[in-house]
Chains A and B, each alone.
Chain A
Amino acid sequence: MIITQGLTKEFRLRKGALVTAVSGLTLEVKEGEVFGFLGPNGAGKTTTVRMLSSLIGPTAGKAWVNGYELGVDDQAIRRSVGILTETPGMYERLSAERNLMIFSRLYGVADPQGQVQKYLRMLGLWERRFDEAGSFSKGMRQKLAIARALLHEPKVLFLDEPTSGLDPEAAKLVRDFIEELKSEGRTIFLCTHNLDEADRLCERIAIFKTNLITVDSPENLRKRLYGRKVVFHLRAASDAWAEAVRSLPFVKQADLVDNKLVVGLDRPEEQNPEIVRCLVGLGADIQFVGELRHSLEDIYLQMIHAAEAAASQEVRA
């Protein structure tokens, strides 16, 4: 659905200096996938989205969106993608409905009225449709902007920080709506700073800072960085028990932290019962067993820091 090859964007500042916002980005987003695009402020996420929705041209590299090549079929690309821009940018003095009608017409939607009604209802704005967009709260504007991005039923959707600045309830509403769009089979390119959100919504995540650092599923990222870990909560602990577990052939590591035994395993589903048997045999009282999940935040920070360290080393060399 989205393929990029060495996509690069440089900005020339007024003083003449060059800023590289995106450098040699090569990736593939599959059809029907929710693809998370994560990176710190200034990483080049918005710039990437702008290039892929053919708002600005790349300095180098190629990309195909929906089968259309960037720079060749730009109008076809704009016609077939929807974009939620970083700022909603509504016509403040016009009603919500009027705002959407304008865009329905610009997109050449066959049944503008019907589509406007459909999305105003879906996003819970129908009752407020005659109110000026300028009177809307931040969350309502964001919902209106999402509706605007969907009027022409795009197959590919770019969402640039859809939940930023929303209260937890509004954010959840937007997330649920993204789930719904995903179930309709749309391809969603999601820029976000909310790592929990990326973890829940995305099949795959790219961690990006000017350069692509990594792309993988959240699960694989966890495994790659930390392996899988299981925690056994014991009523009382003994170093001897930890030693016994460590000596099992499939156990990669086992550490005692207070009364918790943290065990590194490849296939906990099959290996946990064995460990339980071993511990019970030694007389341990097991209170709980659970998998230790690193938050995506840990992974993200570690990856970004590693990339920064590598970059600074490169500069020194």
Chain B
Amino acid sequence: MSAVHPTGSRRLDAAGTVSRIRTIIDKEWAEVFKNRVVLLTVGVMPLVFTILPLVILGTMRRSGALSGSGTDVPAGFAGVCGAMSPGDCLQVYVVDQFMLMFMLMPLAIPVAIAAYSIVGEKTTRSLEPLLATPISTEELLAGKALAAAIPAVLATWIAFLVFIIGTAILGVPPAVRAAIASPTWLIAILVIGPLMAVLSVNVAVIVSSRVSDPRAAEQISMVIIVPVLMVFFAQIAGFLVINARLMGLVAAGLVLLDLVFIYLGARLFQRETILTRWK
């Protein structure tokens, strides 16, 4: 039997691993997207975060608010603008605020999906038959994590793309558009977004193992958005200026944080622990 050819069976299993992870992802999506709360989070959030800044930018342009002196921008922010006109600088400032709101998506969406999927499996007791299959707990966790992180990352990226296209259609000045597609925000969307999604999945796994109500799991896990909100208010108050250097540091910090939380999540996600300790 397979025990006779350990190397052969291992090589064969790389395909098996991929197929099992895909099966889990398919299953998660089929199930979790039937849930209204999850659909709302995944669907409405990107929509609001894309349309709202576009509407505000559009209104600003038409109302003539941009011909003022630009005193609305905190003193620290002026450095970001450089040689821009005060009107452009104000627009960049507004965009920066909204881009920070954008960063809530890769945190909030995975939490919603993972909380409902894991607590859901707990309450229907469907984890036991699942764990009785040849799937490894790493594969199962990877499947669940990807099922939660992929929609979040995609939603963030698509929203960002739509936002960039929207600003072009609105006739936002090239200097402002360059500030949107700047290294700062590209690092944020392309690198920090996925790293945040991974973090929030693992936080949701850890929280979900302890509570038996998906809503409670979601709400508790949402504490991870607090740091983003703090940056948001710090920027409004003029304490902090977001730039590529800061984003690079945040990305590096997130890599470390992700490693810690993947370790913690995986440690909780063991057959025995799930079946005997999860309440």
Decide if A92 touches B134 in the complex (CB within 8 Å). no
Decide if A73 touches B23 in the complex (CB within 8 Å). no
Interface stretch (choices A25-33, A83-91, A215-223): A83-91
Which residue of the partner chain B has the closest CB to A82? B132
Q: Among A11, A57, A79, A91, which residue has its beta carbon within 8 angstroms of that of B31?
A: A91
Decide if B31 touches A55 in the complex (CB within 8 Å). no
A89 to chain B, nearest CB (A): 4
In the complex, A56 has a CB within 8 A of chain B:
yes
A149 to chain B, nearest CB (A): 8
Decide if A102 touches B3 in the complex (CB within 8 Å). no
Interface stretch (choices B173-181, B205-213, B268-276): B268-276
Decide if A55 touches B271 in the complex (CB within 8 Å). yes
Q: Among B1, B27, B127, B271, which residue has its beta carbon within 8 angstroms of that of A89?
A: B127
In the complex, B61 has a CB within 8 A of chain A:
no
In the complex, B133 has a CB within 8 A of chain A:
yes
Decide if A106 touches B131 in the complex (CB within 8 Å). no
In the complex, A261 has a CB within 8 A of chain B:
no
Decide if B133 touches A106 in the complex (CB within 8 Å). yes
B244 to chain A, nearest CB (A): 44
Residues of B within 8 A of A79 (CB): 2, 134
Q: Among A11, A91, A108, which residue has its beta carbon within 8 angstroms of that of B126?
A: A91
Alpha-carbon separation in the docked complex, A79 to B12 (Å)? 14
Decide if B132 touches A85 in the complex (CB within 8 Å). yes
Alpha-carbon separation in the docked complex, A83 to B127 (Å)? 13
Q: Among B23, B271, B272, which residue has its beta carbon within 8 angstroms of that of A106?
A: B23
Q: Main SS of chain B's interface residues?
A: helix
Decide if A56 touches B128 in the complex (CB within 8 Å). no
In the complex, A50 has a CB within 8 A of chain B:
yes
A131 to chain B, nearest CB (A): 14
A109 to chain B, nearest CB (A): 11
Decide if A76 touches B124 in the complex (CB within 8 Å). no
Residues of B within 8 A of A105 (CB): 19-20, 23
Contact with B along A135-178 (1 / 0, CB 8 A): 00000000001001100000000000000000000000000000
In the complex, A107 has a CB within 8 A of chain B:
yes
Which residue of the partner chain B has the closest CB to A79? B134
Known contacts A55-B271, A105-B19, A75 near B129 by CB under 8 Å: no
Residues of A within 8 A of B276 (CB): 11, 56
In the complex, B130 has a CB within 8 A of chain A:
yes
Residues of A within 8 A of B30 (CB): 93-94, 98
Residues of A within 8 A of B34 (CB): 93
In the complex, B16 has a CB within 8 A of chain A:
yes
Alpha-carbon separation in the docked complex, A155 to B10 (Å)? 23
Q: Among B127, B130, B134, which residue has its beta carbon within 8 angstroms of that of A75?
A: B134
Residues of B within 8 A of A85 (CB): 125, 128-129, 132
Which residue of the partner chain B has the closest CB to A72? B3
Which residue of the partner chain B has the closest CB to A53? B132
Alpha-carbon separation in the docked complex, A184 to B1 (Å)? 21
What are 10 A-B residue pairs whose CB atoms fall within 8 Å in the complex? A11-B276, A50-B275, A55-B272, A57-B272, A68-B3, A81-B132, A91-B31, A106-B20, A106-B130, A107-B134
Beyond A67-B1, A108-B16, A145-B129, 13 additional contacts (C-beta under 8 Å) are A55-B128, A55-B131, A73-B3, A76-B2, A79-B2, A83-B129, A83-B132, A94-B27, A102-B27, A105-B19, A105-B20, A106-B130, A108-B19
Chain A residues packing against B (C-beta within 8 Å): 11, 50, 53, 55-57, 67-68, 73, 75-76, 78-79, 81, 83, 85, 87, 89-94, 98, 102-103, 105-108, 145, 148-149
